[in-house]
Structure 1
Amino acid sequence: MASTHGAHGILVASNRGPITYQTQDDGSLQAKRGGGGLVSGLSAIGPDADALWVCAALGDGDREAVRRGVGEDGVRMLDIDAEVHADAYNGIANSVLWFVHHMLYQTPLEPVFDAEFRRQWDAYRAYNQAFAEALAEEAAEGASVLVQDYHLCLVPGLLRALRPDLRIGHFSHTPWAPVDYFRMLPDDIRAELLDGMLGADRLAFLTWRWATAFLDCAAEIDPERYRVPPASEGSRSVEHLDGAAPARTLVGVHGLGADAEFLRARSHEADVEERIVALREEIGEGRRTIVRVDRTELSKNIVRGMLAYRQLLDDHPEWRERVVHVAFAYPSRQDLAIYRDYTAEVQRVADEINSSYGTPGWTPVVLHVKDDFARSLAAYRLADVALVNPIRDGMNLVAKEVPVVSDEGCVLVLSREAGAYEELGEDAVSVNPYDIVGTARALHEALAMQPGERAERTKRLAAAATALPPAQWFLDQLHALEA
Structure 2
Amino acid sequence: MPNASEARILLASNRGPVSYTVEDDGTLTPRRGGGGLVSGLSAIGEEVDSVWVCAALSEGDRAATRQGRTDPSVRMLDIDPGTFARAYNGIANSTLWFVHHLIYNTPTSPVFGAAFRREWASYEAYNTAFAEALAAAAAPGATVLVQDYHLSLTPRLLRALRPDLRIGHFSHTPWAPPDYYRLLPDDIARDVLTGILGADRAGFLTQRWAAAFADCCEAVLGAEVDRDALTVTHQGRRTRLGVHALGADGDFLRERAHRPDVDARLSALREAVGGRATVVRVDRTELSKNIVRGLHAYRHLLRTRPEWLDRVVHIAFAYPSRHDLPEYREYTASVLRTAQEINDEFGTPTWQPVMLHVDDDFPRSLAAYRLADVALVNPIRDGMNLVAKEIPVVSDEGCALVLSREAGAHAELGEDAVTVNPYDVIATAEALHRALTMPRGERTDRCKRLAAAGTALPPSAWFLEQYTALTEGQPPE
Q: Report the TM-score range of the alignment, normalised by the length of the smaller protein.
A: over 0.9
2:475 aligns with: none
Mapped pair 1:238 → 2:238: no
1:125 matched residue in structure 2: 124
Instruction: Give 1:399's aligned residue.
Output: 388
Match among 392, 403, 409 for residue 398 of structure 2: 409
The alignment partner of 1:185 has SS state of coil
Measure how far apart 1:33 and its partner are: 1.0
1:126 partner amino acid: A
Aligned partner of 1:422 in structure 2 is 411
Deviation at 1:51, TM superposition (A): 1.3
* 2:254 alignment counterpart: 264
Looking at structure 2, the residues matched to 321 and 37 of structure 1 have their Cα atoms a distance apart, in angstroms, of 41
Question: Does structure 1 residue 356 correspond to structure 2 residue 356?
Answer: no
* Distance in 1 of aligned mates of 2:444 and 2:125: 52
- 1:73 offset after TM fit, Å? 2.4
- Residue 208 of structure 1 and its aligned partner are, at CA, apart by 0.4
Q: Give deviations 1:179-221, integer Å, cap 9, x for gaps.
A: 0001111111111111101000000000000000000000111
Q: What corresponds to 1:141 in structure 2?
A: 140
Shift of 1:281: 1.9
Q: 1:324-339 counterparts in 2 under 5 A?
A: 324-339=313-328
What is the alpha-carbon distance in structure 2 between the residues aligned to residue 172 and residue 53 of structure 1? 18
Structure 1 residues 102-150: Cα deviation after superposition (integer angstroms, max 9, x where no partner)? 0000111010000000000000000000000000000110000000000
- 1:446 Cα offset (Å): 0.2
State the one-letter code of the partner of 1:415: S
Residues of 1 paired with 2:335 and 2:34: CA distance? 28
Cα distance in 2 for partners of 1:74, 1:203 equals 25
Please give the alpha-carbon distance, in whole angstroms, between the structure 2 residues aligned to 1:280 and 1:344: 27
| Distance of 1:275 and 1:45 partners within structure 2 | 36
| Pairwise CA distance, 1:337 | 0.6
Q: Which residue of 1 aligns with 2:243?
A: 253
Structure 2 gaps of 5+ residues are: 473-477
What residue is the counterpart of 1:305 in the other structure?
Answer: 294
| 1:275 paired to 2:245 | no
Q: Provide Cα deviations, 1:375-425, integer angstroms capped at 9, x if missing partner.
A: 000000000000000000000000000000110000000000000000000
Amino acid at match of 2:210: A
Q: 2:152: which partner in 1?
A: 153
- 2:367 is paired with a residue whose SS is helix
Paired with 2:355 and 2:4, the residues of 1 have a C-alpha distance of 55
After TM superposition, the structure 1 = structure 2 runs for residues 387-466 of structure 1, keeping only pairs within 5 Å, are 387-466=376-455
Say if 1:57 and 1:80, in contact at 8 Å, map to a contact too: yes
**Letter of the structure 2 residue corresponding to residue 255 of structure 1:** A
Name the CA distance, whole Å, in 1 between partners of 2:218 and 2:362: 42
Superposition deviation, residue 450 in structure 1: 0.5
Gaps of 5+ in 1: none
Q: Which amino acid is 2:418 matched to? A: V
- RMSD over aligned Cα atoms: 0.8
Matched residues in 2 for 1:229 and 1:448: separation?
A: 46
User: 1: CA distance between counterparts of 2:59 and 2:280?
Assistant: 36
Share of identical aligned residues, percent?
67
Q: Does residue 1:77 correspond to 2:76, yes or no?
A: yes
> Structure 1 residue 183 and structure 2 residue 182: aligned?
yes
Aligned to 2:172: 173
Aligned length: 470
Mapped contact 1:87–1:123 kept (Cα < 8 A) = yes
Letter in 2 for 1:477: Q
Question: Residue 169 of structure 2 aligns to a residue in which SS?
Answer: strand
1:228 alignment partner, SS class: strand
| Structure 2 counterparts to residues 311-326 of structure 1, below 5 A | 311-326=300-315
Secondary structure in 2 matching 1:48? coil
Per the alignment, residue 226 of structure 2 pairs with: 229
> Over residues 326-352 of structure 1, what are the superposed CA-to-partner deviations in whole Å (9 max), with x where a residue is unaligned?
000000000001100000000000000
CA distance in structure 2 between the aligned counterparts of 1:463 and 1:8, rounded to whole angstroms: 36
> Alignment partner of 1:265: what SS?
helix
Residue 262 of structure 1, CA deviation: 0.3
State the AA in 1 paired with 2:317: F
Distance of aligned partners of 1:35 and 1:94 in 2 relative to their CA distance in 1, 3 Å threshold = same
Distance 1:450 1:304 in 2: 26
Counterpart of 1:351, as a letter, is Q
- Whole-Å Cα distance in 1 between the matches of residues 304 and 251 of structure 2? 40
The CA distance in 1 between the partners of 2:291 and 2:4, in whole Å, is 48
Q: What SS is found at the alignment partner of 2:214?
A: helix
User: 1:10: how far off?
Assistant: 0.6
- Matches of 1:5 and 1:34, distance apart in 2: 25
CA distance in 2, matches of 1:369, 1:34: 22
C-alpha separation between the residues in 2 aligned to 1:416 and 1:361? Answer: 36
> Deviation at 1:445?
0.2
Q: Residue 5 of structure 1 contacts residue 141 of structure 1 at CA under 8 Å; is this kept in 2?
A: no
Distance 2:226 2:433 in 1: 46
CA–CA distance in structure 1, aligned partners of residues 434 and 403 of structure 2: 13
In the TM superposition, residue 5 of structure 1 has moved relative to its aligned partner by 5.8
Give 2:373's match in structure 1, choosing from 384, 400, 412.
Answer: 384
C-alpha displacement of 1:222: 1.4
Please list, as runs of the form range in 1=range in 2, the aligned pairs for 1:360-375 lying within 5 A after superposition.
Answer: 360-375=349-364
Separation in structure 2 between the aligned mates of residue 391 and residue 312 of structure 1, nearest angstrom: 20
Letter in 2 for 1:450: P
Distance 1:52 1:462 in 2: 34
Give me the whole-angstrom Cα distance separating, in 2, the residues matched to 1:304 and 1:55.
36
Amino acid at match of 1:28: T
Shift of 1:35: 1.2
Within 2, Cα distance between the matches of 1:280 and 1:430?
28
1:97: which partner in 2?
96
> 1:230 deviation in Å?
3.9
Report the equivalent of 1:19: 18
Classify the secondary structure of the residue corresponding to 2:226: coil
- For the residues of structure 1 that align with 2:109 and 2:438, how far apart are their CA atoms? 43
Q: TM-score, normalised by structure 1?
A: 0.97
Q: Which runs of 4+ in 1 moved over 4 A?
A: none
Q: CA deviation at 1:229?
A: 2.1
Report 1:28-43 matches (<5 A): 28-43=27-42
Q: For 2:145, what is the secondary structure of its paired residue?
A: strand
Aligned to 2:9: 10
> In the aligned structure 2, how far is the partner of 1:424 from the partner of 1:210?
16
Deviation at 1:283, TM superposition (A): 1.4
- Residue 16 of structure 1 deviates from its aligned partner by 0.4
**TM-score normalised by length of structure 2:** 0.98
